[in-house]
Amino acid sequence: AKCQCKLVPRERTNCGYPGISAVECKKIGCCFNASVPGVPWCYNPRAKKVKKVCPNEPYIRINCGHPGIKPRECQKKGCCFRAHPAGVPWCFYHRVMEE
């Protein structure tokens, strides 16, 4: 995303090789901006901001426990726990969402 490439020039970390073209730089997943001399022109993008959420849709849950697992045991594993509805995992993994 373009916003991941908006970095203060001094915060850029090199992502390419000397003389890399803008096309090659972008092809390897990096940002390219040759407007500031003395800093990397091909540089690593800012990391995406993500958050873990417990999915609301019960039928997309991915099982993280065993039948009869208790809420505390599930949460110790770092998973979500919701004891409803029947027929779906009650202890299940978080989903990672971009902010």
pLDDT at 97: 82
In a domain, 1, yes or no: no
In a domain, 66, yes or no: yes
Q: What φ, ψ does residue 17 adopt, rounded to 5°?
A: -120, 160
In a domain, 79, yes or no: yes
Note down the domain range covering 15: 9-43
- Which of these, 50, 43, 1, 2, lies nearest to 20 by C-alpha position? 43
In a domain, 92, yes or no: yes
The answer to whether residues 70 and 55 belong to one domain is yes
Whether pLDDT at 1 is above 70: no
Q: Name residue 87's amino acid.
A: G
Query: What does pTM read for this prediction?
Result: 0.53
pLDDT at 98: 74
The answer to whether residues 91 and 55 belong to one domain is yes
Report the domain count for the chain: 2
- 56-96: per-residue pLDDT in tens? 999 999 999 998 999 999 999 999 999 999 999 999 999 98
pLDDT at 50: 82
Burial (0-12, 13-18, 19+ Cβ within 10 Å), 91:
buried
The answer to whether residues 84 and 64 belong to one domain is yes
Strands 50-53 and 95-98: antiparallel
- 4-63: per-residue pLDDT in tens? 899 999 999 999 899 999 999 999 999 999 999 999 999 999 887 788 999 999 999 999
pLDDT at 49: 79
